Amino acid sequence: MSMDASDLPQPGEPLSRTPRHVGLIPDGNRRWAAARGLRRGAGYEAGIGPGLRLLQVCRQLGIEEVSIYGFTKENTRRPAGQVEAFRTACVSFAKGALEQGAALLVVGDAASKIFPEELRPWTDARSPGDVRVNLLANYGWHWDLHSARARQARTPVRPATMFGALASRDVSRIDLVIRWGGRRRLSGFLPLQSAYADFYIIDSLWPDMRIDEFRGALAWYQEQDVTLGG
């Protein structure tokens, strides 16, 4: 997928501090579709292109790792047509990310029948590539923590190293979380990796994502006092 000049970082606007790892919560797909009189599942398909465009920009800016919400275990309680739509959208996004040369890892409960079979090859090992992309598919924070607890039962893990027992243990600490759609909540998004992340809200709906909004989040991040709790 090609980009036009407006998608690229603008000359004369260098970042003094680039977040190493950015988390993306692409919310508002159903509201976007409903506002246009479309079936709600159409919003997920409309969100694939923005995600792939933004991934290209992250690569251009030197952002090393990107985590993006695909769907949660709670989302699978929605009507069957919507569930199938976001499952299909996740597969399409994963294929697009691989075509771009991303180092893809899929994090989620692959033991469930709802998990897309096409994504299974990237649950155990990350694909070779440049930008590390973590796609959360059928992910739940409780499932993630339960995986650590189950591992603890098999092989005792010291609290200081508990992070390494998580199902999401190959996902590093997040510097900046950006959420589209106006909601002011994490919705269970990688809670341990996000513990010290700065959190930026964009009111527009995800399928309407504009690169200048992302630039605005990065500009805001430059002004934050990053202390990691210290």
Count of beta carbons in the 10 Å neighbourhood of residue 124: 9
Which residue ranges make up each domain of the chain? 17-222
Mean local confidence (pLDDT), 8-26: 77
Q: Give the integer Cα–Cα distance in Å for 167 and 85.
A: 25
Per-residue pLDDT tens over the stretch 87-115: 999 999 999 999 999 999 999 999 999 99
pLDDT tops 60 at residue 2: no
* Residue predicted with more confidence, 227 or 196: 196
- Please give the structure tokens belonging to residue 25: 């919560």
Average pLDDT of the chain to the nearest whole number: 90
Over residues 9-32, mean pLDDT: 83
What tokens appear for 95 in the block?
Answer: 């294929």
Displacement of CA 136 from its chain's centroid (Å): 6
Confidence of residue 230 (pLDDT cuts 50, 70, 90): low
**Which CATH number among 3.40.1180.10, 3.40.50.970, 3.40.50.720, 3.30.70.1450 corresponds to the domain 17-222?**
3.40.1180.10
pLDDT of residue 5: 39
Is a pLDDT exceeding 50 seen at residue 11? no
Global confidence as pTM: 0.89
User: What is the set of active-site residues?
Assistant: 27, 75
Q: What is the pLDDT of residue 206?
A: 98
Q: pLDDT tens digits, residue range 138-175? A: 999 999 988 766 665 566 666 556 677 899 999 999 99
Q: Classify burial at 117, counting beta carbons within 10 Å of its beta carbon; exposed 0-12, middle 13-18, buried 19 or more.
A: exposed
CB burial of 145-182 (b: ≥16 within 10 Å; e: otherwise) equals bebbeebeeeeebeeeebbebbbbbebbbbbbbbbbbe
